[in-house]
Amino acid sequence: MYKKIINTIFILFFFIFIFFTLKYYFSEKNKIYTNKLRSNYFVNINSNKNDLPLLKNDTNNIIVYINDLENFKKKRKKRFWEKLISSNNE
């Protein structure tokens, strides 16, 4: 008997908690507060964005492209079935 009463009380508290949480979450007061915070963040980001220094681009001709595929093909040992498939006689 006590176990059923305790379980009922827990379930009741759970639903009350869910109810008040959803009531606050969907309230107009919370929506207004959230929108104020978002707009404040947006204003702060835009104001700080203008203060950032613009750096010179110094990444020209940094990447050197090497064709290692040809070297790999020359070093690699040919297998028997590759010799059968190849069109030229190597």
pLDDT of 86 above 90: no
SS3 helix, strand, coil % of the chain, rounded to 5? 70, 0, 30
pLDDT of 15 above 80: yes
pLDDT digits (tens, 9 = 90+) for 19-76: 999 999 999 999 999 999 999 999 888 888 888 888 888 888 788 777 777 777 777 6
What is the per-residue pLDDT for 69?
79
Which pair of structure tokens corresponds to residue 33? 């507060």
Domain boundaries, the chain: 25-51
What is the per-residue pLDDT for 64?
77
What is the per-residue pLDDT for 60?
82
